[in-house]
């Protein structure tokens, strides 16, 4: 083993979140930032997202995934940030020793601070237990996207898409543009789970039916490949309604049934995970329960916009740099953030009483509200509130509190975020 480098800030994962964290860490004064990326190129999942619609907040223009990645890659290289490709981190120890594997061998790196930005993965067929034939032609939407956009092969000619997550919606359009027939997008919930704009631009514009409250109850095969799926309507408890089944002939079933933060490294490092997000549990500096290990991007919780993942990671990168430069922080008492009416989860999960500066909240609604008011309360007193129209679970909420508001939270012994109608 080739021992043992030491670095101030190591960022694990070179997608948009990781690059943003590295750039922010550098700008905050950490000079020997290192990014570790297992893929052959930087940019993460953006590389296969060749559609546009990225960057409206961060770059004030509408970019494709690769264009967006290129901007971040340029910003990192302008700063001379070292990014090591083809390098897979296989373990992170609580003492912040990182072990990684590449074609050059096995390396260990000790870091003063680590930012985990490993992204997320797609929920596979087995996780939702779709019964039926175990044949070729069942892919997650992201895998199909890689086959089509990176490798240049058709994942199928006649598709049914289960789940209306954003990648599924994007792939419905993509497959159509490539000459495939997309029979339908089936969604078990009564509403689409992806962004509204994707429903309009990817389904409606191409006359692809979105069948809400429907699911796949059986997969049929012929000659080793999918030959059709049996769809059914579901009741209010999302159970298939007997007698409502119908056949959709197809050679491919694409799944867009949820994303899960990639937490294998975090778990091994002993990082506490959150029951709802599946990602790490963090305080308002985005530090996990392990001192000096920060988490951001889709590894922390699944974002619907790359911009928000990047903005979040900037906080993690900056805080990681501070941690490294100051030789650690002492974390004192904290208050947990409670999720009240209408909020499924909020990040951060804890507010440190010792901190300073502005706190950013992101929150995922649990229900739809035509009109509502998001309130953040400290000891029952409303310290932040914002009116929002069209609150829905598919759209993440994000609020930047000013220093005065943030300080009020720091001294509170109860913090709650909720929706008021």
Nearer to other proteins, 48 or 313 (CB): 48
User: What do you get for the CA distance between the two ends of the chain, in Å?
Assistant: 60
Cα distance between residue 384 and residue 343, in whole Å: 15
What count of residues does the chain have?
421
Nearer to other proteins, 160 or 311 (CB): 160
121 exposure class (CB count in 10 Å sphere: 0-12, 13-18, 19+): middle
As given in the structure block, the two tokens for residue 170 are 């994007």
Smallest distance, other proteins to C-beta of residue 122, A: 5
Nearer to other proteins, 88 or 385 (CB): 88
Smallest distance, other proteins to C-beta of residue 139, A: 8
Smallest distance, other proteins to C-beta of residue 232, A: 10
Smallest distance, other proteins to C-beta of residue 195, A: 22
Cβ atoms within 10 Å, residue 99: 16
Nearer to other proteins, 103 or 207 (CB): 103
Nearer to other proteins, 17 or 141 (CB): 141
Nearer to other proteins, 75 or 154 (CB): 154
Place of tokens 């400290």: 378
Q: Which residues of 26-49 are buried (b: 16+ CB within 10 A; e: fewer)?
A: bebebebbbbbbbbeebbbbbbbb
Smallest distance, other proteins to C-beta of residue 56, A: 28
As given in the structure block, the two tokens for residue 322 are 């501070």
Decide: helix, strand or coil at residue 368: coil
Nearer to other proteins, 70 or 135 (CB): 135
Identify the DSSP state of 241.
P
Smallest distance, other proteins to C-beta of residue 146, A: 5
Among candidates 277, 280, 286, which has minimal Cα distance to 263? 280
Place of tokens 């979140």: 17
Cα distance between residue 245 and residue 86, in whole Å: 47
Nearer to other proteins, 134 or 386 (CB): 134
Write out the residues near other proteins by the rule CB under 8 A.
1-2, 38, 86, 88, 90, 99, 101-106, 108, 121-122, 124-127, 129, 131-136, 139-140, 142-143, 146-148, 150-157, 178, 217-219, 221, 223-225, 240, 251-252, 264
Smallest distance, other proteins to C-beta of residue 166, A: 16
Smallest distance, other proteins to C-beta of residue 156, A: 5
Q: Does the N-terminal peptide bond of residue 10 adopt cis geometry, omega within 30 degrees of 0?
A: no
């Amino acid at each position: 083993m080739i021992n043992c480098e030491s670095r101030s800030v190591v960022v694990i994962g070179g997608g948009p979140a990781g690059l943003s964290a590295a750039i922010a860490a550098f700008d905050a004064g950490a000079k020997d930032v290192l990014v570790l990326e297992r893929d052959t190129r930087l940019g993460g999942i953006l590389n296969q997202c060749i559609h546009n619609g990225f960057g409206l907040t961060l770059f004030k223009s509408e970019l494709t995934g690769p264009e967006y990645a290129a901007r971040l890659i340029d910003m990192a290289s302008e700063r001379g940030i070292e990014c090591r490709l083809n390098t897979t981190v296989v373990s992170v120890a609580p003492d912040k020793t990182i072990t990684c594997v590449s074609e050059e061998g096995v390396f260990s790196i000790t870091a003063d601070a680590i930012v985990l930005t490993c992204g997320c993965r797609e929920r596979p067929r087995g996780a939702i237990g779709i019964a039926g034939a175990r044949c070729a032609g069942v892919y997650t939407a992201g895998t199909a996207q890689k086959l089509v956009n990176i490798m240049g092969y058709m994942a199928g000619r006649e598709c049914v898409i289960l789940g209306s997550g954003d990648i599924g919606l994007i792939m419905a359009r993509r497959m159509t543009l490539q000459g495939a027939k997309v029979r339908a997008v089936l969604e078990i919930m009564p509403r689409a789970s992806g962004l509204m704009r994707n429903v309009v631009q990817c389904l409606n514009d191409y006359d692809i039916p979105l069948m809400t409250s429907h699911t796949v109850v059986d997969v049929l095969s012929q000659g080793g490949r999918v030959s059709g799926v049996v769809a059914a309507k579901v009741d209010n408890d999302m159970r298939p309604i007997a007698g409502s089944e119908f056949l959709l002939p197809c050679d491919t079933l694409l799944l867009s049934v949820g994303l899960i933060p990639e937490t294998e490294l975090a778990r091994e490092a002993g990082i506490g995970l959150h029951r709802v997000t599946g990602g790490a549990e963090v305080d308002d500096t985005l530090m996990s329960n392990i001192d000096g290990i920060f988490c951001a991007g889709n590894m922390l919780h699944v974002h619907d916009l790359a911009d928000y993942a990047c903005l979040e990671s900037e906080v993690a990168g900056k805080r990681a740099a501070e941690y490294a430069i100051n030789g650690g922080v002492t974390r004192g008492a904290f208050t947990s953030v409670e999720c009240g009416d209408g909020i499924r989860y909020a990040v951060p999960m804890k507010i440190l009483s010792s901190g300073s500066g502005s706190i950013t909240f992101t929150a995922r609604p649990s229900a739809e509200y035509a009109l509502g008011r998001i309130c953040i309360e400290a000891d029952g007193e409303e310290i932040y509130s914002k009116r929002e129209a069209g609150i829905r679970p598919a759209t993440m909420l994000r609020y930047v509190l000013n220093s005065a508001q943030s300080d009020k939270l720091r001294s509170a012994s109860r913090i709650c975020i909720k929706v008021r109608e």
